[in-house]
Structure 1
């Protein structure tokens, strides 16, 4: 059985992110896409618009000296424009390290990602790492 197109889109996005391929990510997202990051640290909040979202991804790499990595574990779809990606993230910032599970709930309209709601296993761990 072939994988659903929305699952393929999400897998392609994770691969592009892992390569630092912002041009591919830009082509996959709506111009008014939003990425919502939980927590109460300097990188949490709502990033609205494709340039702002991609800028946030650049900040992740800058803050971690390029060590931020995500390993996609699975993708779930509902066939109605929603996908859930479960992943494992690792990174280093100075003497701090991040090693936790997380996920993103995606909203897809047509063939474009319009909204990303990020979830983490432990918000306190995330806040401590990014603060």
Structure 2
């Protein structure tokens, strides 16, 4: 068993974040010592590492909560993990498409700016001001 500071050191997660994860239900409430210090078991280290890695992959707290709820029921959450990853991939693909569209629009504006003849009338400033996606 370890106190919250040791858990934070072992996982690289701040004490404040650990308390927040407890508050929102991602971590179960820990038992407490007589002096009210929290005590954590080693299985919480793995759970916290899962949460941290899932967040780094862009999963939301809601998605992580759903995955952990399945696991907490004693069921394998692999299907939910795969479905969540598929949704994350689709979201990233859409962002990439949107960024490529934006890049194309910026390149077009830049090229038209090179061709502008009269400053402040047909210059790049007017092109940006009047441009609509």
TM-score by length of 2: 0.23
Q: Which has the higher contact order (CA 8 A, sep 6+)?
A: 1
Which has the larger strand fraction? 1
Which of the pair has more CA radius of gyration?
Answer: 2
Structure with the higher helix share, 1 or 2: 2
